[in-house]
Amino acid sequence: MNADNLTVNPDALLTESEAAALASLSVRTLQTWRVRGGGPQFAKLGGSVRYRRADIDAWINARLARTTGEAEARK
């Protein structure tokens, strides 16, 4: 996928590797969160997992905090 498309198109479907890179996480962390919960929304398409760019952005935005206390309250 064209890297410019990843930064512009909110509906772009990202692979696990692309989504992990976008969120500065490891692929293994995303995989763990898919099983346990707590990660961004994903789509299972046949045997493939895909993440929408908009869902990664929304997940990150929902975790923004101004203080550590504020972040801890969201757990």
The amino acid occupying position 34 is: R
The structural domain count of the chain equals 1
Q: List strand residue ranges (DSSP E) for the chain, in order.
A: 13-14, 43-45, 48-52
User: pLDDT tens for residues 19-44?
Assistant: 999 999 999 999 999 999 999 999 99
Q: What is the mean pLDDT of residues 58-74?
A: 84
Residue 49: give the domain boundaries: 3-73
Secondary-structure breakdown of the chain: helix, strand, coil percentages, each rounded to the nearest 5: 50, 15, 35
pTM, entire model: 0.78
Assign 10 a pLDDT band (cuts: 50, 70, 90): confident
The domain that holds 52 is classified in CATH as 1.10.1660.10
pLDDT at position 75 is 61
Beta strands 48-52 and 13-14, pairing class: antiparallel
Among the listed ranges 41-50, 53-62, 65-74, which one has the minimum average pLDDT value? 65-74
